[in-house]
Structure 1
Amino acid sequence: MGTAAYDGDVLVVGGGIVGLSTAYAVSRAAPGTRVVVLEKEAGPARHQTGRNSGVIHSGIYYRPGSLKARFAVRGAAEMVKFCAEYGVPHEVTGKLIVATGRDELPRLHALVQRGRENGIPVRELGPAQIQEYEPEVRGLAAIHVGTTGIADYRAVAERLAESSGADIRYGADVVQIDRRAGLGVAVRTAAGEIVRGRVLVNCAGLQCDRVARLTGDDPKMRIVPFRGEYYELARPELVRGLVYPVPDPAFPFLGVHLTRGIDGGVHVGPNAVPALAREGYRWSVVRPGELAGTLAWPGSWRIARQHWRYGAGELRRSASKRAFTDAVRRLVPAVDPQDMVRADAGVRAQAVLRDGTLVDDFLIREGERAVHVLNAPSPAATASLPIGREVARRALALL
């Protein structure tokens, strides 16, 4: 099959920030390489990218040497630079991570050490110093992380799309993938369109394991969707910037936090509850086939057995506004239930292994003429530029 028979050299499935960063990186690393992006929605960034806290993460939480640590630290600086260059609303705000109980103090100190190992400047604060940054926040101790910020990631995705030079096809839901020896990759969409390329890159987020299986590769994991519910603070003046609890290292979730967005509003959340559909942004959205797939995966049951206490607390916060408010009041006692206005939810694509392991790091695997991004939850938006370069490097090596 000659080059002319291909619609593109690299076919990217998924028009979120990671897929579009990959297209952008391919065009920078190998000008003239033809990239086609297939996105099932009518526009970019309709799922994880456009439904998060909008935080530029510093990288303080992540194990030194991990992809998350390396890419988040590098990606935070690059994201600020990208936003400035392309006129995307952003701000470097800094953030507080606050210990409200004595049992959290060792974990807070461990974060200080981890931050230093990752090359992140952190400042340790006592109770009085906390209030210099955040007058309404109460805690026994805190750390201030100066490199954290906020950005409009949907706008970032739009700029990446415009600047990549890729052929971006919206409304292109991939339903079949055919790899034939020496003939590249052929993709069929729900509309019946056939798109041919030399290499396929799977950046399908919530659907990435399904797309991997369509290629014939066994991803050895499943996406278990967790819905994150948010509130908006009716009195945004209670919080100046970003305020986080000390996270539990056993989970890849950061706990209910308060985030002042680029629009000046303050987001509160998210919790983490199992979703009844991969794109189940409301309890009313139930997809029996997807739910059955989650329940059939042995890892789902192992998570439930191992972490049922944690999960019960998250479900209680989902069902009860008072319980959600109580979690916030540990950090900001002045918040009342009437200050909490329900906002749009997001769904996190969490990779789970067969043995119940919650995949903590970014997970990128290769198959024959294919690169699969199989775990890219937070801080993937922050780290999207270096992730895109890494995925692009692997894809170009397969051409």
Structure 2
Amino acid sequence: MVQVREGRAIGYDCDVLVIGGGIVGLSTAHAISRAAPGTRVTVLEKEPGPARHQTGRNSGVIHSGIYYRPGSLKARYAVRGAAEMIKFCAEYGIPHAVTGKLIVATDRAELPRLHALVQRGRENGIPVRELGPAQISEYEPEVRGLAAIRVRTTGICDFTAVARQLGEASGAEIRYGAEIVQVDRRPERGVAVRTARGDVVRGRVLVNCAGLYCDEIARLTGDEPEVRIVPFRGEYYELARPELVRGLVYPVPDPAFPFLGVHLTRGIDGGVHVGPNAVPALAREGYGWGVVRPREVAATAAWPGVWRMGRRHWRYGVGELRRSWSKRAFVEAVRRLLPAVEEGDLVPAAAGVRAQAVLRDGGLVDDFLIREEVRAVHVLNAPSPAATASLPIGREVARRALGVLGEL
């Protein structure tokens, strides 16, 4: 496609240039191809393959949407996305299962929050069954609790396989090993990006689905996102005795935090993940305490919202750090749900890093955050349940990108 401005022809490599080859970026490419056939889409991903970070480093849970505020994007997209994800996996033969899950109260102080979740689930249109201690044992013989709710629409799948299939079905040009180092956006001429290899790719509209680096890409584009990504590492163990857990078991979450707490998840491979906790990472891809990138640490520390967040939530943070540094403390947290677990039952597993958007005032952005700018659409917060909700999120981002494209 060629656009003429001031007598000069501008050659574009694509109509929509998507940065990020995780599940949201690839879903966006897929949705554009479905909504506007013939639109040329290029996806740039810095890794050698898809879904190498948040998409491929989680529990693989298809969330029901029970936790999220009714009417929020997270609630609407999760409920819709869970059903669509099951259908997508079935259509393409991607391993998946609808297992249901238990959310278990182990302390009387948690009972009001559990009952609130029942109401929230019903408001979101999610079938929920309330259970007493004896009924908990029917589903999970080794789990102990005062009360629980069963959410039958929760499932599990292979999100990396989903992302790969979305990319293949999109018909987009996908370039791996393409790390962005420079963005040149001009309202009258489009967007050009330069990769670390020296390649230049030109598009009419840029879509930023860069996950852990989405705020940096926004600033390279010339936009101020008004949030900063603060990376939180989630550390997991594998259960050496997976027979102790039949399905998915969660604690009652604290609504003051966007994290669900340590839970037990039987994956599609039959193994049981235990975790995650949530500790500050010392790099955006800081999958262990030994991974430190001083420039990224300094940039995070320079954002005033980080210090305000720390003052507000330091007690919660101390508990998470304790579970990171002490396996015994981690085991104590697990035993609240699964008393039979022993320290030797927990085998270290791969960690993940969550890209949490933090506001200047220290508030944690709880919902999806998508912003439109001149020739650009930025996805600035796509927390859990982003993988579950990736199909409707992709359609929403695609709708906005095509709207920006149509205005040119």
TM normalised by structure 1 equals 0.99
Is the aligned partner of 1:2 residue 2:2? yes
Instruction: Pick from 259, 262, 283 the counterpart of residue 256 of structure 1.
Output: 262
Amino acid at match of 1:332: L
CA shift, 1:181, in A, is 2.8
CA displacement, residues 79-117 of structure 1 (integer Å, 9 cap, x when unaligned): 000000011000000000000000000000000000000
CA displacement, residues 139-186 of structure 1 (integer Å, 9 cap, x when unaligned): 000000000000000000110111000000000001111111321111
Q: Which residue of 2 aligns with 1:333?
A: 339
| Residues 128 and 152, structure 2, Cα contact 8 Å, conserved in 1 | yes
Cα distance in 2, alignment partners of residues 104 and 180 from structure 1:
53
Is the aligned partner of 1:245 residue 2:251? yes
Q: Which residue of 2 aligns with 1:342?
A: 348
CA displacement, residues 8-66 of structure 1 (integer Å, 9 cap, x when unaligned): 10000000000000000000000000000000000000000000000000000000000
Matches within 5 A, 1:37-48: 37-48=43-54
Structure 2 stretches of 5 or more lacking a match?
Answer: 4-9
Q: Which residue of 1 aligns with 2:28?
A: 22
RMSD: 0.7
CA shift, 1:282, in A, is 1.1
3-state SS, counterpart of residue 247 of structure 1? coil
Cα distance in 1, alignment partners of residues 187 and 219 from structure 2:
18
Of 296-305 and 223-232, more deviation after overlay is shown by 296-305
Amino acid at match of 1:143: I
Is the aligned partner of 1:286 residue 2:292? yes
CA shift, 1:377, in A, is 1.3
Is the aligned partner of 1:303 residue 2:303? no
Cα distance in 2, alignment partners of residues 377 and 87 from structure 1:
26
3-state SS, counterpart of residue 335 of structure 1? coil
Q: Which residue of 1 aligns with 2:6?
A: none
Amino acid at match of 2:347: V
Cα distance in 2, alignment partners of residues 164 and 87 from structure 1:
17
Amino acid at match of 2:205: V
Matches within 5 A, 1:140-219: 140-219=146-225
Q: Which residue of 2 aligns with 1:353?
A: 359
Q: Which residue of 2 aligns with 1:375?
A: 381
Amino acid at match of 1:183: R
Instruction: Pick from 64, 68, 73 the counterpart of residue 67 of structure 1.
Output: 73
| Residues 14 and 204, structure 2, Cα contact 8 Å, conserved in 1 | yes
Q: Which residue of 2 aligns with 1:52?
A: 58
Cα distance in 2, alignment partners of residues 55 and 337 from structure 1:
25
| Residues 232 and 355, structure 2, Cα contact 8 Å, conserved in 1 | yes
Is the aligned partner of 1:79 residue 2:112? no
CA shift, 1:188, in A, is 0.6
Cα distance in 1, alignment partners of residues 224 and 160 from structure 2:
31
Q: Which residue of 2 aligns with 1:228?
A: 234
Cα distance in 1, alignment partners of residues 358 and 169 from structure 2:
34
Instruction: Pick from 387, 394, 397 the counterpart of residue 393 of structure 2.
Output: 387
Cα distance in 1, alignment partners of residues 183 and 88 from structure 2:
34
| Residues 187 and 374, structure 2, Cα contact 8 Å, conserved in 1 | no
3-state SS, counterpart of residue 380 of structure 1? coil
Aligned residues: 399
Is the aligned partner of 1:129 residue 2:132? no
| Residues 187 and 375, structure 2, Cα contact 8 Å, conserved in 1 | no
3-state SS, counterpart of residue 307 of structure 1? helix
Q: Which residue of 1 aligns with 2:18?
A: 12
Q: Which residue of 1 aligns with 2:103?
A: 97
After the TM superposition, list the runs of 4 or more consecutive aligned residues in structure 1 that deviate by more than 6 angstroms: none
| Residues 211 and 355, structure 2, Cα contact 8 Å, conserved in 1 | yes
3-state SS, counterpart of residue 64 of structure 2? coil
3-state SS, counterpart of residue 116 of structure 1? helix
CA shift, 1:355, in A, is 0.2
CA shift, 1:218, in A, is 0.5
TM normalised by structure 2 equals 0.97
Cα distance in 1, alignment partners of residues 212 and 125 from structure 2:
32
Cα distance in 1, alignment partners of residues 346 and 185 from structure 2:
51
| Residues 96 and 155, structure 2, Cα contact 8 Å, conserved in 1 | yes
Cα distance in 2, alignment partners of residues 182 and 128 from structure 1:
67
| Residues 190 and 203, structure 2, Cα contact 8 Å, conserved in 1 | yes
Cα distance in 1, alignment partners of residues 130 and 328 from structure 2:
31
Cα distance in 1, alignment partners of residues 187 and 256 from structure 2:
43
Q: Percent identity?
A: 83
Amino acid at match of 1:2: V
Q: Which residue of 1 aligns with 2:7?
A: none
